[in-house]
Amino acid sequence: CSIAFENEPDEAGLMDRPPRSGNSEFFGTGEIMTGLLSGGVLLAAVLGIYFASLGEGHTEKEVRALAFTSLILCNVGFILSSLSRSRNALQVLGEHNSSAKIILAGALLLLVAALGIDYARELFLFEVPEWHHFLTPVAGAVGVVTLFEWRKAYLNRKKTRRPHSTSMETGQ
């Protein structure tokens, strides 16, 4: 994933932002809390789909396949949403970043292989339920991406409303 992030085009207005304070932490509490919250959202989505699938009466192997599908799809959605702070996931997908597209296509191809190739299915102990049951993991991934995009939009609006002051302007 780091290859995809490094190959991503620069954010609009990047050079218009004031520099970060020399005293600020590079990887501080805020970043750690954001990571934990993001991971918690992904975990909640996968567990929700897992327990919903159990409740629908699927076999253990079908539940495993549906939970694995939701894990992959939610992570792909999270990556798309995280590639930009100013553009949404669909805009990111439409941009020319071949590394990101190759990585995301590879993840989806491996998912299809794990579900579609007999040997892989036996290795992962999967059974493939009817196709319409895969709508639940897709809906879960769309919900996760929507949540992350709403958060991104909220933070961007919050930044535009806040007046910018740099340490040079305040004399500190």
Residue 168's pLDDT band, with cuts at 50, 70 and 90, is very low
Residues 13-41, mean pLDDT to the nearest whole number:
77
| Alpha-carbon separation of residue 132 from 66, 82, 83, 94, 137 (angstroms) | 11, 29, 30, 27, 10
Average pLDDT score over the chain: 83
Beta-carbon-side half-sphere exposure of residue 153 (alpha carbons within 13 Å): 8
| Calpha distance 112→115 (Å, rounded) | 5
Give the model confidence (pLDDT) of 84-119 as tens digits: 777 777 777 777 777 778 888 999 999 999 999 999
| Calpha distance 146→39 (Å, rounded) | 15
pLDDT of residue 2: 57
% of the chain at pLDDT higher than 70: 79
pLDDT of residue 149: 87
Give the model confidence (pLDDT) of 45-58 as tens digits: 999 999 999 999 99
| Calpha distance 57→60 (Å, rounded) | 9
Global pTM reads 0.78
pLDDT of 23 strictly over 80:
no
pLDDT of residue 68: 97
pLDDT of residue 167: 45
